[in-house]
Structure 1
Amino acid sequence: MSIRMMTLVWDTDLPATEKLVMLALADCANDEGKCWPSISTLMRKTGASERTVQRAIQALKEKGLLRRDDVHGRGCLYFLNPRHVGTPVNTAPVPQRREPPSERHPTPVTEAPHPRHGDTQTVIEPSENHQEPSEESSPGSEPSLSVAEIVDAWNDLAARCGLVTVVKLTEDRKRKARTQAKRFSIDDWANVWRNIEQSSFLRGGNERGWRADFNFILSESNFVKILEGKYDSAQGAAGTSARRKSDREIGMGLARDRRTALDRAIDEGLTNLDVIEGIVR
């Protein structure tokens, strides 16, 4: 993995799916941007289908951010060029000339009379280009994925894992998906797709045969549980094993206590069956 390439990719302005594929390539690349991952590796890293990955690669090639060469016996060789949309490699910013202190001229200000005493005070007029900050420009307000990208990724995952695909996208689903996209990053979504695919519990491997659906991941609490691995197969199996072991230990303890009580009753010479049965219980 090249930290240098990853940093350059993060700074590019790309649609979510293309950036995710570019990050997956950078994760396999050296500092020169050279790598040769398979399509299956990119699918695993991004949680996207083969068609989605191939479409993103083609778009990156057309934008000049990526070059792909077919190498006999080694598959495809990729060369990343994330600087293409930013500052060119050989171009440096031109330093601005600063005037000597003696040549600087202060910006004139408007003096207005004091409303009471006739004194003067400095009034700084606001710039014509001044704009008040708005909620839309605040950090974190932009969604990490579009609703269409979330639905496409879910349907790709559902087709591979035997889950129910999205057929009708209601307004309520759109609203929840947009909200979820603002809460979580692209990496969070990729980890959730991977955890669902690796969880037998979420794919129906439970006593009820229940399976996760699209509405399930639109809940913030459910999304966080999946993201933190609460439904991982290893953890589920460990929990079931622990419960079974605990049940066995409790049963063995009750049987041992009853046997001890029965032996004590016999030693004390009790022959009344009702009394013995009461002691055992």
Structure 2
Amino acid sequence: MSSETSPFRKKTVQDTWTHRTVLLTEAVEALHIKPDGHYIDATFGRGGHSRLILSRLSADGRLTAFDKDVEAIAEAQTIADPRFSIRHEGFNQLAGLAPSIAMGLLMDLGISSPQIDNPARGFSFRSDGPLDMRMDTTRGQSVADWLADASIDSMTEVIRDYGEERFAGQIAKAIDRRRQERGPLRGTAELAEVVAGAVKTREPGKDPATRTFQALRIFINAELEELQQALEASLKVLQPEGRLVVISFHSLEDRIVKQFIAEHSREVYDRRAPFAAPKAMKLKALGRIKPSEAEVAGNPRARSAVMRVAERTGVGA
């Protein structure tokens, strides 16, 4: 069904797109809150973590939050608390903060349920909507705009590398055929239909479009590049003994976080100067946590979450 004949559903006052924060208590406990400290919620979302952090702070504590999503910013502006501030920016802007400003930094890398459930955002193939997927709808290129002109090779690379999709080439060719026959794709249902026709085998319980939609969302928002930048910035903004807490929801993100913590949790020797003192480690890995069975039963979207925790050392700044 084309975008011309299927008007995309808008949210009405009867709609309720609620969000259940994953690993809420575990993440805030991992920050090891000091009441007078300054903390950063790098991905405000719908504010579950931020509100719990604020409840643990004294009058002298501070919380700075970041988010690219205009709906998240609107939600954040309902928090009338002088200890709290929100920035309409991606967390790759963490480097702009003052050095050693924070006692804790939290990154929840999942997209919020209202983003997924609102068809107008274009993140989901379960309801027809515009093929957008931008976290920040005020700027940048939508998925529909990118797919209109992308080469088969470019589409194949994105779907393969960001979606870990083994049928990436077939999907890219199917999208190209669809463009030539009927013009550019504009809706999520159209794309899901094209992908379903190209993916010949399906993983049990998983829609054939899952990996392609993940890939396009990650690519259009430069999510992995932004994560790398934010992790590097964490070394600058965290005070000694400050905690880094990152919740990931797919293997690509978790691999980046795991490797970053491992890289900075060991002393580095310069092979060109074998007798020189090694560069001191900058982080101390503290552990990996998964949601409990009870949380997953109550919120199936939590099942893929992995939380990693590290502590900034007092050396190697």
How high is the TM-score relative to the length of structure 2? 0.24
Task: Identify, as 1 or 2, the structure richer in strand.
Answer: 2
Pick the structure with greater CA Rg: 1
How high is the TM-score relative to the length of structure 1? 0.26
Higher relative contact order (CA 8 A, sep 6+): 2
Task: Identify, as 1 or 2, the structure richer in helix.
Answer: 1
